[in-house]
Copies of this chain bind each other. A is one copy, B any other.
Amino acid sequence: MVDLTQLMENEVFMAFASYATIVLSKMMFMSTATAFYRLTRKAFANPEDCTGSGKGENAKKYLRTDDRVERVRRAHLNDLENIVPFLGIGLLYSLSGPDLSMALLHFRLFVGSRIYHTIAYLTPLPQPNRALSFFLGYAVTISMAYRLLRSKLYL
């Protein structure tokens, strides 16, 4: 059996592992936030979820959408749409031997921008708070993709 721990002795890879785990944990928190708002605001998507809030016909009125729930769901989907490229491109970028300080800069900016994006979406803060945090994370991912393709393109 091969000792894979050598991969984890690479500092860039360890940094990527840490930041990726943090940003994924943040994304998972959105599921809890959705469940919280669905329960406190009694706004469910499935008939079987309403039975804790009422019986029979009375329960069906909780099959509805709620602004707060929909807002969390949009923030969650936006996370998915942006964290998936970061995971894929970031993993490959980490393996391509970048400079440690440059890699840390990318990871920190991305994770910071996504945390700020969530705060701006859920508060909500006035625009362009959310738009700017979105574009910062976007630009960081594009920058990693550019460096990766420039140095390692193989088609």
Contacts and interface: CB of A to CB of B under 8 A. Distances in A.
A141 B21 CA distance: 10
30 contacts: A2-B6, A2-B9, A3-B97, A4-B12, A4-B97, A8-B152, A11-B154, A18-B153, A20-B92, A21-B88, A21-B92, A21-B145, A21-B148, A24-B85, A25-B142, A27-B85, A28-B82, A28-B85, A28-B142, A31-B82, A31-B138, A46-B124, A47-B124, A48-B124, A48-B125, A48-B130, A51-B126, A80-B80, A80-B81, A80-B84
Q: How many copies does the complex hold?
A: 3
A145 B6 CA distance: 19
Contact of A87 (B7, B12, B88): B88
Interface size class of A (residues with CB under 8 A): 35 or more
Contacts of A83: 84
A1 B8 contact: no
Contact of A10 (B1, B87, B127, B130): B1
A45 interface: yes
A91 B121 CA distance: 29
A105 to B, nearest CB: 13
